[in-house]
Structure 1
């Protein structure tokens, strides 16, 4: 079929660019709105605008993106879902050729890319996740404390897979590229914000994602990232921190981190937190929430050496050093009366003494910090 209808009550269709020029096909499906998710040149857009308007007229929106894993389609999701939603709720103007009385009273939206496989599917899934989240939660989520949440973060990947399966019922060939699948999961974890065209850009999780992309691209070229992100500043903005790139559950990561730091401190206690403090002046440098668990995957039969590093996320007290734009360097205590060496960083990463490779590597060295058990974490600034 040139146009494939997504299962449900709405007249939402997905397909390739071929059908856009087939007026009879569009008329037969009462298409009122067309969303083009592909890279049109300025000349192609001018040619489209110069064509005589069809009857009845159709509303179009263009999202200029390529089908590349590193392409940022996430930032366009608020505009995409609002456009689709508005189109589906609109009423067709007179002149519709649709005989079905009920269908003729509703808008119909056609979403397409070049082949109707990756970009258009991503746009449709983003809309479905935003509009019908309850349809894509796992059975387990309804029995968990997260069941009261509209978008339970822990089920993000599964929700995306379920939405993809629904779209494949209409169009079996759809296959969003891995980068777009990752963006859809992040969209869900952020709560599918669409209260304005810049709704995604305002979210700290999106800025962290941009930072991680920039680190990967910059280090590949042998440069320090031009974009910085600081974990404690994002936490202070009140947003739940998203899982690390290996997609472990947030709670599991924090439990693993707590166990790791507790082992280093040789202390444990219910309701307690753990902090890393400068060994010289006792200034708080990081708490357990910002320590990145790491484990070596090497298994060559040799006994592993003790781990001499606490790897942490970038923190705001490191800003003066990290903003210098060097690939690697030393970290000193932010207490100006101390300035003791506490660790080092390398955007290209390095291997810990336990043989785990960490990239980027921002390390506070065991020998230069104390691991302290506290009842409540002090604010890091």
Structure 2
């Protein structure tokens, strides 16, 4: 199985590194462009200068960041197919070591980018029609799902979901070493996606002083797990046993989180209040409903009030993202 053509209108092929030694096969299929998704010295291959080449130096491991390369590979493949080379129709080979994981991931990302009707599974199934061994590793599959969920943006690296994903990776590495992360990404200081309409806006307030602590964009909903002794409890009953609200890290938590501790208390940011509201743990906490949340920034429901606001369009206002009041002296422009 030297190289396999992806079914469809595009002259797009997938293969392994030994495909590059098959000069007859490359010539037969009229390959003009090559995307190499691995670390390798290609000078040993004859007539290498005949092809336009894009190299992506990544390993086939689950924690490799290939997501950040999807726009570069996708736009390059799109241009290669449209413009061709030397008057020839563009035909692109995407390869890695075996033509199984990295190269297939790049091809699936291209299909998601160019053909919005595809899901990750349908795009992968298309590739498997001619290349049954196609099997991106678990980490790459998660990245493809995130890419699709993001809407296959052209500016991946500045997208809030990508930035959040990178931060989660930093947290995981730090916690594995028994430390808090070196930096904290405060969600309300980041540029938020605009134009999202919500029918129900929830606002959490300190029960003692009424200070706003969080709104819907910064809440982390979770699906309660039925306890072993009552596996058939309905969802409403499961939610009623949750005693905590979990949040993204917010700027009012800065004094606590920048101490560099693995865990600690969260107190009301109102200097005239200072009520203890909950706790945080970079290594995670288990909710009373049995769900594990990591990292965890938890407010006790008994210490906050939940108010429902009228429907509105999400945007970044004078108070900061999502209606959260930023700490004194922090202007909005400084947070973008």
C-alpha change, 1:167 and 1:366, in structure 2 (3 Å) is same
Contact 1:313 1:362 in 2 (8 A): yes
> RMSD over aligned Cα, in angstroms?
2.7
Partner of 1:300: 229
1:279 aligns with 2:234: no
Partner of 1:160: 120
- What are the residue-to-residue correspondences of 1:265-276 with 2, within 5 Å? 273-276=201-204
Contact 1:344 1:362 in 2 (8 A): yes
1:122 aligns with 2:105: yes
Partner of 2:302: 367
- 1:238-261 deviation line (CA, Å, top 9, x unaligned): 2589xxxxxxxxx9xx9xxxxxxx
State the TM-score, normalizing by the size of structure 1: 0.73
1:228 aligns with 2:184: yes
C-alpha change, 1:79 and 1:373, in structure 2 (3 Å) is closer
C-alpha change, 1:224 and 1:59, in structure 2 (3 Å) is same
- 1:234-286 deviation line (CA, Å, top 9, x unaligned): 4x522589xxxxxxxxx9xx9xxxxxxxxxxxxxxxx6533221122210011
Partner of 2:150: 190
CA distance in 2, matches of 1:3, 1:186: 28
Tell me by how many angstroms 1:374 deviates. Answer: 3.5
Partner of 2:329: none
Could you say which structure has the higher helix fraction?
Answer: 1
SS of residue in 2 equivalent to 1:170: coil
**Stretch deviating more after TM superposition (118-127 or 343-352):** 343-352
Tell me by how many angstroms 1:67 deviates. Answer: 0.9
- 1:156-213 deviation line (CA, Å, top 9, x unaligned): xxx010000100112111001121111112212222223xxxx211111100111222
State the TM-score, normalizing by the size of structure 2: 0.83
Tell me by how many angstroms 1:37 deviates. Answer: 0.4
Partner of 1:20: 20
**Stretch deviating more after TM superposition (289-298 or 58-67):** 289-298
Q: Count the aligned residue pairs.
A: 309
SS of residue in 1 equivalent to 2:227: coil
Contact 1:333 1:342 in 2 (8 A): yes
C-alpha change, 1:297 and 1:218, in structure 2 (3 Å) is farther
Tell me by how many angstroms 1:366 deviates. Answer: 2.4
Alignment counterpart, residue 82 of structure 2, candidates 89, 101, 107 = 89
Partner of 1:237: 192
SS of residue in 2 equivalent to 1:133: coil
Tell me by how many angstroms 1:301 deviates. Answer: 5.1
CA distance in 2, matches of 1:364, 1:329: 12
Partner of 1:37: 37
Partner of 2:57: 64
C-alpha change, 1:306 and 1:200, in structure 2 (3 Å) is closer
